[in-house]
Structure 1
C-alpha cells in the first residue's frame, strides 16, 4: 500500500513513532552521551553517544524508507556524509569522478584531501559523466547539479558504472527523495544534505547516506564512529520533527519554482533561465524520465553582480542567503563562492510563500 501514498502521507508515515498504546505520538529526543551497561557484555544495546542513539535510528529509518533503501546513516552535515563515503570508497590507486559543475566543496575535498593521498580525480560536467565513468572506479554524481541545474541521466550512468564495476554515488539533495529516487535508477548509494528541503527551516545542519549494500554501509558506519562526524540527538529530533511536513512544503516549493521559472523566462531583464521543469530546458527530457518533481531551485542570469544585489534590495520577500530549501525564498549570487558562472548568475531557492505574492514581488523588484 505504501507505494500508492502521496508525498505528504509518505512523509508523515516515515516520521511517525511506533503505534504503542501509552507512548507519545511524537517521540521525544534522547540527549544521551552514556547508557547503563549490561553485565552481559555480549548483549546488544546502546553504550556511548558517538556510536548510537535512539533518535538517530528513528530518523535513519524514516530516511531509508523515503529513499527506498534498506538502511540509512545520519551525519552532522551533508559534507560529513559525502566525505565519509568518499574516504571509504576512494582509496589510494582508485579513479574518482566528481562533478565539475556541481557543489564546489566536493571538488575542493577531492582536490585537497583525496588527490594528495593517491586518488586520481577527474572533474567532469554533467553532460560528460557517462563517458568519464567508463574509466572510473567511483563516480560521484549530483543531479540536478548545484547551481546550474543541469541533469545527469542516472539510468544510463548506472548502466555504464555497472558494466565497469564502478560504484555510483548520487547526491540527491536538490530533488529530495520526494522528487527523485536514485537507488531505483541503479545508484549504489545516495548522499544528501538534510539541512535543505527535508529539514526545511534553515535552523540545523544534517546529512545522510542511504543504500541497500550492507557491506558498504557497515564500512561507512565504521568511518562515522572513528571520525566522530555524528549528528547531535537534538538536531536528529528537529530533522525528524520537520520531516513530517516535508511533502507539503516541497510541493509548494516546486509549484513556486515552476511559476517563477516561467515568469523569468519571459522577462526582458533576464538573460537565461535553467529549470528542469521548463519544456524548453535542455535537460527537460531526461528530467521527465527520472524525476517525479523538478525541485524548488531556479537558476537565472542578470546583467551583472550589481543587478543581482539590486533585485534583493528591491524585493520584500527575498532573503540573501547561500543555503536553500527553507521556508523563505532565498537568492544567492554563486560567483561569490568561486563557481565557474557569470557574475550575474543567481540561484533562487523558492520558499512556501503564496505563489501570486512571489511572482508579484519578483516582477516589481526586476522592474
Structure 2
C-alpha cells in the first residue's frame, strides 16, 4: 500500500479522539432515535430521524476519510446508485452503463429509468472508450467489472466524458478505497456497496456515495431525505465497526488471492481464469497503473455447470453465497444469476482464512472434478 493509504489506515480508528471528553466511551455509541429534543429554534441540531443521526455522521466521517471526499450513507449499494440516478437525472437524459457489470444496475435502468424518460445504452468495460461519450449526461463504469473482472482506464474515460460534457460515476465495490481511488483519477462520483468488504462480516446491507462536488452531495442528500432511503442506525454502527478492521482484512484477502490465483491457473480442472494480478491477464498492466492492490475476487471457468456446483459445494472452506468481501471465502456459479457467462463460470471471493489451509481444500475439491 502507498504511504497515503497507510496514513489513512492508521488514523481511521482515531477520528473521534479529538472530540472525546474524560469518561467518554472510545467505541462509537449507538444512537437509536427517531426524534430529538428541539425546543425553540433548534437550527444546527438533529431534528428528525429521516434527516440525520449521530451514528450515520460517524460512519460517513470514516468513509469520507478513506475517500478523501464527502460521503452520504445509504441502506444498500443499490440505494446509493438509485440516489445518483434519481437525484441527478431528468427526462431526456441519456446514460451509458457497463454491459458486463452488476446486472441489477441495468435492471434499474430498464424497469425504472426508462419509464421516467431517461434513455440508456450499454458497452463492455474493456472497450468503454470506443465510440466516445457525446450525448451522455452520465457514464457509469464498474472497474474491475463484476463478475468478469475487466478493467477500463478510469483517467482516460474521465477525460473523455468531461470533454463530452458528462459526469463519470465509478462503482468501486470490488476494490474499496484501499484498493483503488477513482476520484483521484477524475471520477465525479464513487458509489459502493459497503455490504461487502467495508463491513466485512456479511451481516448488514449498506452503501455510500462519495463526491468532491458539493452540488452532487447536496443532490443525493436531498434525495435521501425526501425519498426516505435512509440507513438504520444499527446498520451504520455495524459498518463503523467493520471499517476499523478493513485495512487488515483487505490486505490479507488480497495477498491470499494473489497466491491462490497463481495456483488455480495451473490446475487441470481450470479452463481459464481472470485475475488482474496475473501477469498474463489482459488487464494486468492497467491494473498496476491505477489499482493499489489486485483485489480478492478471482473468476475462473471449469468444464460444466455440474462440475462448478460440485467444486463449490464440496469445498469445506467455501460457502455457496451470492455476495463477496466477507471474512468467509465464498463462491458462486454466476450463470444462475443471469450474467452472460459460461455455465461453469465461478466467481471466488477469497476470505480471511489462512491461505495454505484454504488452498489445500480448494485444490482437493478441484482434483475431485478434474
Contact 1:124 1:132 (C-alpha < 8 Å) held by counterparts: no
Q: CA deviation at 1:5?
A: 2.7
- TM-score computed with the length of structure 1 as normaliser: 0.96
Question: Which residue of structure 2 lines up, in the alignment, with residue 93 of structure 1?
Answer: 92
The DSSP-based 3-state class of the residue aligned with 1:131 is: coil
Contact 1:46 1:52 (C-alpha < 8 Å) held by counterparts: yes
Q: CA deviation at 1:12?
A: 2.9
Contact 2:312 2:332 (C-alpha < 8 Å) held by counterparts: no
**Aligned counterparts, 1:232-247, within 5 A:** 232-247=232-247
- The one-character-per-residue Cα deviations of 1:45-99 (angstroms, maximum 9, x if unpaired) are 1111011000101110110110121x10000000000011011223211110011
The DSSP-based 3-state class of the residue aligned with 1:168 is: strand
Alignment of 1:270 onto 2:270: yes
Question: Which residue of structure 1 lines up, in the alignment, with residue 47 of structure 2?
Answer: 47
Between the two proteins, the alignment pairs up a number of residues equal to 365
Deviation larger for 18-27 or 224-233: 18-27
Question: Which residue of structure 1 lines up, in the alignment, with residue 152 of structure 2?
Answer: 152
**Aligned counterparts, 1:1-367, within 5 A:** 3=4, 5=6, 8-13=9-14, 18-41=19-42, 43-69=43-69, 71-135=70-134, 136-367=136-367
Q: CA deviation at 1:3?
A: 2.8
- TM-score computed with the length of structure 2 as normaliser: 0.95
Cα gap change, 1:16 to 1:285, in 2 (>3 Å): farther
The DSSP-based 3-state class of the residue aligned with 1:208 is: strand
Contact 2:319 2:328 (C-alpha < 8 Å) held by counterparts: yes
Q: CA deviation at 1:181?
A: 0.4
Inter-partner Cα distance in structure 1 for 2:16 and 2:244: 5
Contact 1:102 1:142 (C-alpha < 8 Å) held by counterparts: yes
Inter-partner Cα distance in structure 2 for 1:170 and 1:20: 39
Deviation larger for 311-320 or 126-135: 126-135
The DSSP-based 3-state class of the residue aligned with 1:40 is: coil
Inter-partner Cα distance in structure 1 for 2:156 and 2:78: 26
Root mean square deviation, CA, Å: 1.6
Contact 1:17 1:26 (C-alpha < 8 Å) held by counterparts: no
Deviation larger for 350-359 or 119-128: 119-128
